[in-house]
A and B are shown apart, each in its own frame.
Chain A
Amino acid sequence: DQQVKQNSPSLSVQEGRISILNCDYTNSMFDYFLWYKKYPAEGPTFLISISSIKDKNEDGRFTVFLNKSAKHLSLHIVPSQPGDSAVYFCAASVGSNSGYALNFGKGTSLLVTP
């Protein structure tokens, strides 16, 4: 049962525009959310996270928004750059404790065109 869902398998955006990647979750116990970027044949790289006590977290060009009532989060990349082209995974866990595994969505493949 997929508890974290990324319903858009792919997204294409022009360089300089905003990329918005969406993620939904079903487990109301999740209270810590993360976004990872992944290239083929490599491990995921951490991008940004958000705790359920917040509704927004910003780090440079990356902003994550959390809507707890809708069980929805999104990652905004502004401005998008060709180097952002990769697969983006949304992940969630119960707590930020090191003993809890992450639950991943299936990923969204982002292509940023020049």
Chain B
Amino acid sequence: GAVVSQHPSWVICKSGTSVKIECRSLDFQATTMFWYRQFPKQSLMLMATSNEGSKATYEQGVEKDKFLINHASLTLSTLTVTSAHPEDSSFYICSARSIEAFFGQGTRLTVV
């Protein structure tokens, strides 16, 4: 089946620094990719929809200046958490759909 690869799988960073997470669709072209965030024992919450060649669409309550999304090609979307704070610590997952949605491995971000 289709594979979505996400990197890194975990990262620890200091408060105030920025972290970039990459999401690649390995065997299909993804015009649209999705970024989710999961808090412990909670659902996957959609943060934004990443559209190749255009601006991302952010869900209500998600700061677009804090969570920068770039979808420069049909196989790569990146999420940059800018000026990270401890409350940004979470599990971030990207996804791309052909029909079913395929998910990356997720990135565990810890901001200290």
A residues near B (Cβ < 8 Å) are 2, 4, 9, 34, 36, 41-46, 49, 89, 91, 96-107
Contact = CB atoms under 8 A, between A and B. Distances in A.
A46 B101 contact: yes
Interface of B: 1, 4, 6, 9-10, 30-32, 34, 36, 41-46, 49, 91, 93, 95-106, 108
Contacts of B9: 41
B43 A107 contact: yes
Contact of B93 (A43, A46, A91, A100): A43
Nearest to B101: A102
B102 A104 contact: no
Contacts of A34: 100-101
Contacts of A41: 9-10, 91, 106, 108
Contacts of B49: 99, 101
Nearest to A90: B43
Nearest to A49: B100
A99 to B, nearest CB: 5
B100 A43 contact: no
Contacts of B32: 98-99
A98 B31 contact: yes
Interface pairs A-B: 3 shortest CB-CB: A43-B103, A98-B97, A106-B43
A9 to B, nearest CB: 8
19 contacts: A4-B43, A43-B6, A43-B93, A43-B95, A46-B1, A46-B100, A89-B44, A96-B97, A96-B99, A98-B31, A98-B98, A98-B99, A101-B49, A102-B95, A103-B46, A104-B36, A104-B43, A106-B42, A106-B43
